[in-house]
């Protein structure tokens, strides 16, 4: 999937996400709507009077998570992104109000909208996690020039193909071979393989 598809799911399907910022070194969260997306990232807005705005101006790095709807956890998909935002002022404000007509109920007049600034999340890394597939599906992605950091569990050449890791894997995502291999897109990162390996053949990059 191209990265834009994750932005589209965030803006059009999930829409309301939980965003974390730092407040004097401590994490703080609140619910924020993803108003727009394009190939360069996603856009949200806030009012200049809010604590959220102050946090963004002090430290523009955020982390957000959102969930698709579904009758229970096994029907849901999540998207998490950590990355850099920039304040783009009133740019795209009109477009946001056109695409999200409910905003006119909250900020009815042009004057009241003057409190609002738009933020662009333009560079970051993310994870798409789907519990509705069996085994689970996990995909990592980057955008805006961010480098993809390798993360997860990896079997090295020290593997003696003893099979202990495969027995303990809850998602059956370890492939047999001369050296066993973890299917990264199906791995839960539970760490069972790492714990059981008698040859210290598994590296943990978490
Ligand atoms: C469904 C929902 C969507 C929201 N979307 C936004 C939003 O897009 N922008 C915003 O500033 N506040 C939004 N809010 C309100 C904030 O969550 C609320 O003002 C919060 O207290 C702000 O956090 P702060 O105290 O850190 O500033 C939303 C609230 C809900 C329930």
Atom of ligand 1 nearest to the CA of 50: 27
To the nearest whole percent, how much of the chain has pLDDT over 90? 99
Give this prediction's pTM: 0.94
The verdict on 176 and 132 lying in the same domain is no
The verdict on 17 and 118 lying in the same domain is yes
The total of structural domains in the chain comes to 2
Domain housing 109: 3-143
Residue nearest to atom 5 of ligand 1 (CA): 32
Quick: pLDDT tens for 5-49.
Answer: 999 999 999 999 999 999 999 999 999 999 999 999 999 999 999
The verdict on 97 and 165 lying in the same domain is no
| Residue 156 CB–ligand 1 contact under 6 Å | no
Task: Give the integer Cα–Cα distance in Å for 139 and 128.
Answer: 5
| Residue 117 CB–ligand 1 contact under 6 Å | no
Atom of ligand 1 nearest to the CA of 28: 26
Quick: pLDDT tens for 43-85.
Answer: 999 999 999 999 999 999 999 999 999 999 999 999 999 999 9
In sequence order, what E strands does the chain have? 16-23, 26-33, 36-38, 41-47, 61-67, 77-87, 116-130, 137-143, 152-155, 174-175, 181-182, 202-205
Mean local confidence (pLDDT), 137-163: 97
């Amino acid at each position: 999937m191209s990265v834009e598809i994750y932005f589209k799911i965030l803006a059009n399907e999930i829409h309301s996400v939980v965003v974390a910022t730092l407040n004097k070194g401590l994490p703080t969260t609140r619910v924020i709507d993803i108003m727009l997306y394009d190939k360069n990232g996603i856009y949200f807005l806030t009012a200049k009077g809010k604590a959220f705005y102050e946090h963004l101006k002090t430290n523009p790095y955020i982390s957000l998570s959102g969930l698709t709807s579904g009758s229970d956890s096994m029907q849901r998909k999540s998207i998490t992104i950590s990355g850099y935002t920039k304040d783009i002022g009133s740019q795209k404000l009109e477009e946001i109000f056109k695409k999200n007509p409910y905003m006119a109920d909250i900020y009815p007049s042009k004057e009241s909208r003057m409190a609002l600034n738009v933020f662009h999340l333009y560079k970051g890394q993310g994870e798409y996690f789907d519990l509705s597939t069996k085994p689970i599906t996990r995909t990592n992605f980057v955008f805006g020039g961010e480098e993809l950091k390798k993360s997860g569990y990896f079997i090295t050449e020290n593997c003696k193909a003893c099979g202990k890791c495969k027995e303990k894997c809850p998602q059956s995502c370890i492939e047999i071979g001369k050296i066993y291999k973890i299917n990264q897109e199906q791995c839960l990162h539970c760490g069972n393989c790492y714990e059981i390996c008698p040859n210290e053949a598994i590296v943990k990059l978490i």
